[in-house]
Amino acid sequence: MDNNPIKTQTPGTPEDAAPGGLEQQLQDARDQAEQHWNAYLRAVADLDNYRKRAARETEHARQFGVERLAASLLPALDGLELGSGAADQADAATLAEGQRATLKLLRKALEAAGVDEIDPAGEPFDPERHEAITTQTAADAAPGTVLTVIQKGYLLNGRLLRPARVIVADAARP
């Protein structure tokens, strides 16, 4: 008689029910656990690589984000340097023409960078885009209308970069 309880089997135990028995089920579970572990390790490595790549791209964008703007400003800088060098020999009309050309280059560069000008002369005052310096009585303008633009404002890709500084028409007083 065998006194070892581990080897004792009774009919109808799970070992008899499944072909391959518990050993096969255990091996299948181990294989599946290993597959899940490998998938987890790949996901962790992919996430780590993504974080490193995102950090590199962010640093690159920070360092070189203004590259296009800087490149488009260089012709204006060149024009100013040429004008400064020729200021002693040039007449006022030539200098004024050079100044207008340089201003045109600067505006073109800013426009290419997504900077739009706010010049609200004659428009209704908008506190979201304009900064009122003072008010002035004007018989020929409706109250709340921008009379004079002291300093133009600018938008950067639709976002206010600097408000326009203006003088606003006030209601006429009797």
Q: Tell me the CATH number at 155.
A: 2.30.22.10
Last residue of a domain, one of 35, 64, 93: 64
**Does residue 119 belong to any structural domain of this protein?**
yes
**Does residue 87 belong to any structural domain of this protein?**
no
Q: Which domain holds residue 133?
A: 114-174
**Does residue 5 belong to any structural domain of this protein?**
no
Last residue of a domain, one of 32, 48, 64: 64
Q: Using one digit for the tens of pLDDT, what is the confidence trace for 124-164?
A: 999 999 999 999 998 888 999 999 999 999 999 999 999 99
Last residue of a domain, one of 64, 87, 122: 64
pLDDT band at 1 (very low <50, low <70, confident <90, very high): very low
pLDDT at 88 over 70: yes
**Does residue 51 belong to any structural domain of this protein?**
yes
Pair of tokens at residue 164: 């326009």
**Does residue 101 belong to any structural domain of this protein?**
no
**Does residue 163 belong to any structural domain of this protein?**
yes
**Does residue 135 belong to any structural domain of this protein?**
yes
pTM of the predicted model as reported, rounded to 2 decimal places: 0.63
**Does residue 138 belong to any structural domain of this protein?**
yes
Cα distance between the two ends of the chain: 126
